[in-house]
A and B are shown apart, each in its own frame.
Chain A
């Protein structure tokens, strides 16, 4: 393999990896405040892209993306308020089945609104054939957009959770819900907020990736499986782990193309998921200390 080809694969891996990482972080935010895996996370990504594409007919791209993210956040909030909030001490299994139901429902709604056709947003800068040379490889500027926006989201989330009081309260809900209630924190609102937040980042990811990966009503399922793999791989609940695991999975997938046929790409991530669940369920980067302090 030449160096140029290796870099080309690497950049493709990083692109997909950062998308997986963002989906995984969406899983983590909701998992941290509720203890459930929201299998409708991939649908947030789909909604973000699809809504932006529709809005683009009426307004310029930046406003369309902004509005699409805002609308998806509202959808996230509505989902929590309609389906999750009124449940009184539900079992984890019941909540997970509900999120799978929401995911199927969202897909059906999407196919009725947008049909089965594949759409995409235009490239943010240039077009399909614009490319930037990096060390001999040729990279689409959109790839840089994906990586940049993902990195920025991770950074902003980190700052939000570490320094703001709302972020602190959300972490408190994750650490000990009963104690958070006893501090006077409305834990239900924190759960709604976590749905809004993960819907928002999912939708933004859906917009920046749309020019490269295209948007379709059923894109959510595949993304959810990849994102779930990454979330488990990085250690459930850990954002840093999700980023590292996301990039790792993306790069493994990209390089696997040179060894096995493209059709097996998805099989590789599923194989990794199974292997991790069998061998190291706390994830590659799940630290022993933090895992010991966490409540499951």
Chain B
């Protein structure tokens, strides 16, 4: 579904990503883990068109998305849930969701109403808060709203940037359960996380990003069992487990 080859990207003269290659197949959860400043957010932003790539290729469902403008990419079916939620704080929850369905607006009101109903079923708390300003929601509710907003465009690939940041462990668990449910319903998810344990726990495959390079990749269980990953990202030695 998404194929990235030798992608290089960054801000001005500073190269953040160096020859990153990766792919996402339909129906899987792929996670990218790495420390602060490893380039995770830059990678997602480049795919979403917010950051211009310096070189390399990114093919999404057969089209080269590096040439597309950021605003045109959601219509292709690739949507990003940005880091720090980025909800429309001064607008109501329902307005936020409707804006997420912007690319489907031409298909008529009925489609949007059905999708709205689907999000309320997925995130019941949003139904209770539908007429509240998004900025007054709690962090977890805002994260759910940001996810719901992205799902409103019926994307084939959802990219999530650090959905667990700043949330209580219980809420994080809830959010991750929803991500698993998304896969069960046939969605594809590219998940960027600092919380490596939780991310690898639900993912099918994973990539480890370090200073802009992919240093490790493989099935999630293998990465979880990998000693280097454990030492660097899971905070424990393998011996402790026994």
Contact = CB atoms under 8 A, between A and B. Distances in A.
A175 B91 contact: yes
B86 A183 contact: no
Interface residues of B, number: 31
Contacts of A186: 69, 71
B163 interface: no
B79 interface: yes
Contact of B72 (A184, A290, A292): A184
Given A168-B98, A172-B99, A293-B135, A182 B88 contact: no
A105 to B, nearest CB: 30
Given A165-B105, A168-B95, A168-B99, A182 B70 contact: yes
Interface string A70-113: 00000000000000000000000000000000000000000000
B15 interface: no
Contacts of B90: 171, 174-175, 290, 293-294
Chain B interface, DSSP helix/strand/loop, else mixed: helix
Nearest to A187: B71
A178 interface: yes
Given A172-B91, A172-B99, A181 B86 contact: no
A180 B70 contact: no
B88 A175 contact: yes
Interface string B69-82: 11111110001101
A176 B71 contact: no
Nearest to A185: B102
A48 B82 CA distance: 43
Contacts of B102: 165, 169, 183-185
B135 A182 contact: no
B157 interface: no
Contacts of A274: none
A185 B89 contact: no
Nearest to A178: B86
B149 interface: yes
Chain A interface, DSSP helix/strand/loop, else mixed: helix
Contact of A176 (B69, B70, B88): B88
Nearest to A162: B95
B127 to A, nearest CB: 20
B188 interface: no
A260 interface: no
Nearest to B152: A183
Contact of B99 (A185, A187, A290, A294): A185
B90 to A, nearest CB: 5
Contacts of B95: 168, 171-172
B144 interface: no
B63 to A, nearest CB: 15
B103 interface: yes
B133 A293 contact: yes
B91 A181 contact: no
Contact of A184 (B74, B82, B136): B74
Nearest to B112: A165
A179 B74 CA distance: 12
Contact of A182 (B79, B91, B133, B136): B79
Of residues B71, B87, B89, B135, which shows the largest number of chain A Cβ atoms within 10 Å of its Cβ? B71
B153 A183 contact: yes
A168 B91 CA distance: 9
Contacts of B136: 289, 293
Nearest to B74: A184
B125 to A, nearest CB: 19
A198 to B, nearest CB: 19
Nearest to B72: A184
A179 B147 CA distance: 12
Of residues B72, B74, B99, B133, which shows the largest number of chain A Cβ atoms within 10 Å of its Cβ? B99
A178 B82 contact: yes
Given A184-B75, A184-B153, A176 B98 contact: no
Interface string A185-211: 111000000000000000000000000
A292 B133 CA distance: 12
Contacts of A184: 71-75, 79, 102-103, 153
Nearest to A175: B88
Contacts of A294: 89-90
Nearest to A292: B135
Given A168-B95, A184-B103, A185-B102, A179 B87 contact: yes
A180 B135 contact: no
Interface in A267-296: 289-290, 292-295
Interface of A: 165, 168-169, 171-172, 174-176, 178-187, 289-290, 292-295
Given A172-B91, A184-B72, 11 more contacts: A165-B105, A168-B98, A168-B99, A172-B99, A178-B50, A181-B50, A182-B80, A182-B86, A183-B99, A293-B89, A293-B136
Interface of B: 48, 50, 69-75, 79-80, 82, 86-91, 95, 98-100, 102-103, 105, 133, 135-136, 149-150, 153
